[in-house]
Structure 1
Amino acid sequence: MTASSDSAGLLVFRRRGAGLELLLVHPGGPFWRGKDEQAWSFPKGRIEAGEAPLAAARREFQEETGLSVKGDLIELTPVKRPGRGHVFCWLVEADLDLGAAHSNSFELKGRSNKSRAFPEIDTFAYSAPALALKRIHTSLRPVLGEALHRLGWSGPA
């Protein structure tokens, strides 16, 4: 089996006095700098050849946040992203210390043909549902919508 364009991730949520919050991440690098609406995701990444989607989701979460999460997982319906394969996601409740979060990095060549390293994720934030719906990349909105429905959120999706 070869690597596919399918990806997998974990969507973490917590309940606070102000209500429900979801952990979203902002991609690093020059392309995403200064972009907020429809730029965020949940920690996820490509499923490697022969790897089970849930194992990939756990691995990618750890690689992209430096954190691990335990708890009951709720499998969400996979979504097909145009030209990118399917995204598999599991919802899990955890109140993580984002001050300890850190991302892996990637190399990018600039115009001078010199490589620079950038963090794969440059910002980690818990967001209220209405803000999360504005921030989430359009192709991932069905995943977030299903998660909010499963969590009993009654706002507009």
Structure 2
Amino acid sequence: MSGRGRRSAGLLLFRHTGTNLEVLLGHMGGPFFARRVSGAWTVPKGEYEDGESPWDAARREFREELGLPPPDGEAVPLGEVRQSGGKTVTVWAIGADLDPAAIVPGTFTMEWPPKSGTVREFPELDRVDWFTLDRAREVIVTAQAAFLDRLAEHSNHDGPAS
């Protein structure tokens, strides 16, 4: 039985640079987001169907969207959020460093311009970059900001032992 709403799962990479906690976000590809900054950046993620676990989907989608294997490391569950379009997104955070220049984005096709009969290929994510949490909150899809808050809370409780 399939669920009513669409479901996505993803991995949010994070790293510590000096005193900053940074996260890796992707800018959504395609013509609708080409000139947008605010609300156009996302956790690398993708949809999955019944029969695939969210964790397996998150790892598969990381590879598909970024063209790189998902990093090893402790996965911190950040739970789920419901986006304005109704999609439920489940995310895990993993501490890892990654060079954005190494990304080989997956692609999707769509008719563009609309009703032109021309099908074009676009990258799923047209660029990726590291952001401090404050900057990430300014550009990330609104509902996904909850993941940043949950990661910050986890990091505050997971500091160095004294």
Alignment partner of 2:109: what SS? Answer: strand
Name the CA distance, whole Å, in 2 between partners of 1:35 and 1:83: 18
Say if 2:38 is the partner of 1:34: no
Alignment partner of 1:152: what SS? Answer: helix
Name the CA distance, whole Å, in 2 between partners of 1:106 and 1:98: 20
Q: Which residue in the other structure is 1:133 paired with? A: 137
Say if 2:106 is the partner of 1:104: yes
Name the CA distance, whole Å, in 1 between partners of 2:85 and 2:33: 20
Alignment partner of 2:42: what SS? Answer: coil
Say if 2:80 is the partner of 1:78: yes
Say if 2:58 is the partner of 1:57: yes
State the 4+ residue runs in structure 1 displaced beyond 6 angstroms. Answer: none
Name the CA distance, whole Å, in 2 between partners of 1:18 and 1:109: 45
Q: After superposition, what is the alpha-carbon deviation per residue over 1:37-92, rounded to whole angstroms, capped at 9, x for unaligned?
A: 12110100101230000000000011101122110001112112234232111010
Cα distance change on mapping 1:83 and 1:19 into 2, 3 Å = closer
- Checking the alignment, whether the CA contact within 8 Å between 1:43 and 1:64 is kept in structure 2 is yes
Q: Which residue in the other structure is 2:127 paired with? A: 123
**AA matched with 1:134:** E
**AA matched with 1:37:** S
* Structure 1 residue 139 displacement after superposition: 1.6
Alignment partner of 2:43: what SS? Answer: coil
Q: Which residue in the other structure is 2:155 paired with? A: 151
* Structure 1 residue 18 displacement after superposition: 5.3
TM-score by length of 1: 0.90
Cα distance change on mapping 1:24 and 1:49 into 2, 3 Å = same
* Structure 1 residue 152 displacement after superposition: 2.2
- Checking the alignment, whether the CA contact within 8 Å between 1:7 and 1:88 is kept in structure 2 is yes
Alignment partner of 2:105: what SS? Answer: coil
- Checking the alignment, whether the CA contact within 8 Å between 1:13 and 1:21 is kept in structure 2 is yes
Name the CA distance, whole Å, in 2 between partners of 1:76 and 1:110: 36
**AA matched with 1:88:** T
- Checking the alignment, whether the CA contact within 8 Å between 1:2 and 1:50 is kept in structure 2 is no
Specify every segment of 5 or more residues in structure 1 that has no aligned partner in the other structure, as ranges.
none
Name the CA distance, whole Å, in 1 between partners of 2:19 and 2:104: 26
